[in-house]
Structures are given as structure tokens and as C-alpha cells.
Structure 1
Amino acid sequence: MGTVEPQDELTRRRERGRRSQAAFRKRQAQSTHALADQNARLKQNIQRLLDAARGDERPEMLGIFRDLALAAELEVPARISPDEGQPSNIGSMSGETATSDASDPRILFSDCTMANLDNVY
């Protein structure tokens, strides 16, 4: 009576695996959808900010607006055109990939110091 057929056990395990995989794919799809929605809202609000900027804001703010537009892959309006005296802060953002060449190890490891590396091991 307590004996389970090997084929029944195998069938149950396969079905459990299918259900688990389906649940994982569903969670992954929901997460991807939520991230895409969040990204769209961020881009929309950055565009609203760019549309509201008149160009007479402080140079620091214009630099931030430019950096936001570049990070969101939006067109930088002419009234917020790059100022030669104000360097962009895009390269200094952690985890930033918008304007840097990811194949350049100097950029990838620019914030690493020997003290930081010593703590890794």
C-alpha cells in the first residue's frame, strides 16, 4: 500500500518542475514589465523637466538636466546646450554606462583603489 510506482514519482516530479518553471517565468515577466513601466515613467518625467527648463537656470542645474537627458537617451534641447565651462558629471555616476566605453578598463575600474581591493579578499 505504501509503495509508490517509480513512473508515478517521476511524473509528479516533472509536473512539479513544470509548475515551478511556469511560476518563475510569470514572476520574471511581471518584473520585466514593472521595470519597463518604471523606465517609461522616468523618461516621461525627465522629458517634462527638459520641456519646463527655460535655459536661464543655474549652470549646475543645466548640467544636471543635460546629464539626465543623456542618461535617459533623450535629445538635449538647444536651450540646455552643452556649456564649455561646465563639464558633464555623467562619467562620475556610479554604475553609469550612458557615455562611457564599457570595453575600456580604465573607465570600468576608475573608482577602484588599492584600499578598496584589499577589502575584497
Structure 2
Amino acid sequence: MKTTSEHNKRIAEMTFAAVYPHYVTKVERKGRTKEELHQVIEWLTGFNENKLQKLIDEKVTFETFFEKANLNPNAGLIKGVICGYRIEEIENVLTKQVRYLDKLVDELAKGRKMENILRDE
């Protein structure tokens, strides 16, 4: 499945603050914690809880969110299908980064062990 320029633009302009509550709801509904979610987000982006809250309060777009992020060097190990897209085949860098985050949240909600989610070799 190939992403379109309209799809990529929509993702870039979406605010992290609008999506974050859905991440929290998804993981908590499956018995995981907000702290575990923050651990996953920090692993991917380098944002600690205070920085994450600041970005939420500022209502930054995903584009700004990932521009400010220090992406984990092992992020490329995140593979698979999320939202109907195979991550390895996504060409747009920002869309791929957002799907990395979506995939990690999905794995957390599905009960995967933290050491497997964080892909630290």
C-alpha cells in the first residue's frame, strides 16, 4: 500500500496532542500503563515526560514533533504492518516515523514484553 501526498500532508499537520489521548486509552484499555507508554515514546524520540508534556501543551504537529525528536538509532528495526501499511515500504520519512510510533503503541497494547518493544540489541 503506497501513501499519497495528501495522506502524508494530513499526518504532518495532525497535532500530537490530538492523538496522544488515543494512545493512552489504547494501552490502558489493554492493561498497560501511561508510564510504559512514556517509556516507549522516550525510547523512540528521546523526549522525557516533561518535554513530552511541553510538546502536548504547545499542540505541536507531528512534523514539529519529529523534527525536535532525537530518533533512536534502532528505530529502523521496527517492521511490520500498521494501519494497512508495511512500515519498511513507506517512503515518506515523517509518515514512516509516525508509523514507528503507532507500531510501538500497538505492540505495547498487545502485551509484548518491553525489551522486545524497545529493540535494544
TM-score range, shorter chain: under 0.3
TM-score by length of 1: 0.23
With a CA cutoff of 8 Å and minimum separation of 6, indicate the structure with the bigger relative contact order. Answer: 2
Task: Please say which structure displays the higher CA radius of gyration.
Answer: 1
